[in-house]
Amino acid sequence: MPRDKRLRVVFIDRDGVINRNIDNGYVRTTDDFEILPNVPEALSKLSNAGCQLVVISNQAGVGKGLITKESLDAIDRMMFSAVAKAGGKIAATYYCPHRPDDNCDCRKPAPGLILQASRDLGIDPKETVFIGDAVSDMLAGRAAGCKTVMVLTGKTTADDAAVLEPAPDYIAADLTAAVDWLLLQSF
C-alpha cells in the first residue's frame, strides 16, 4: 500500500506486544518465547509498507543475572526468522539490561533507548510511533515525542487504557489492529 513516507520508523515493545508476557516472570529462553497470533503477518505488513521496525524492550532479567546475552540473541534470531518467514523484516532491537534500581536513562518509562535508536537511524522521534502494552511504554514514547499506540494483548486492560492520561493516540485490540490503523493515518 503506498503511503506517506513520513512514517519511516515504528518502535515496538516486545513482551506483551510481539510475544506473550510471562506472568510474574521473565522470558528467559526461546522456550518461553511464544509469539502472539498473527504478529509476524502484522509486522510484515508494516515493514512492506516501507516502515523500519525497531524493537525497544526492558530486559532487567539480564542485569539480575536471570537472562544471558546468548539467550537474548537466540530469542532475537527466533523473532527475526518468524517475521522473515512472513515476508517482513525487523531492522533492529534495543534492550535495556539494567535493573530498576540501577537508575539508568534507558529503562522505560525513560526515553533513552528511543532517543538512541532515533539518532542511530537519523530520524526525528516526533515522526515515529511507539506501540506498547504497558503504561511505561506510553510514557517513554511520549517523553521522546512519538505518537503512541496501546495494544491490549499484554499488561493493560481496556478499562485501564481508556482512562490513561495523557491518552494514547490509539488503543488497539492487538498488533494487527494497531498496524491496520497506522497504515490508514497520514503521518
Q: Which residues bind Mg ion (CB under 5 A)?
A: 13, 15-16, 133-134, 154
Tell how far CA 92 is from the center of its chain.
11
Pick 15 or 76: Cβ nearer Mg ion: 15
CB of 19 to Mg ion, least distance (A): 9
Cβ-closest residue to Mg ion?
16
Q: Is 101 helix (H, G, I), strand (E, B) or coil?
A: helix
Pick 13 or 169: Cβ nearer Mg ion: 13
Pick 15 or 169: Cβ nearer Mg ion: 15
List the beta bridge partners of residue 19: 15, 35
CB of 6 to Mg ion, least distance (A): 26
Pick 22 or 183: Cβ nearer Mg ion: 22
Residue 178 · residue 149 · CB < 8 Å: yes
Q: Is 86 helix (H, G, I), strand (E, B) or coil?
A: coil
Residue 1 · residue 44 · CB < 8 Å: no
Tell me the H-state helices in the chain. 39-48, 60-63, 69-85, 112-121, 135-144, 158-162, 175-182
**Which residues form the catalytic set?**
13, 15
CB of 15 to Mg ion, least distance (A): 4
CB of 47 to Mg ion, least distance (A): 20
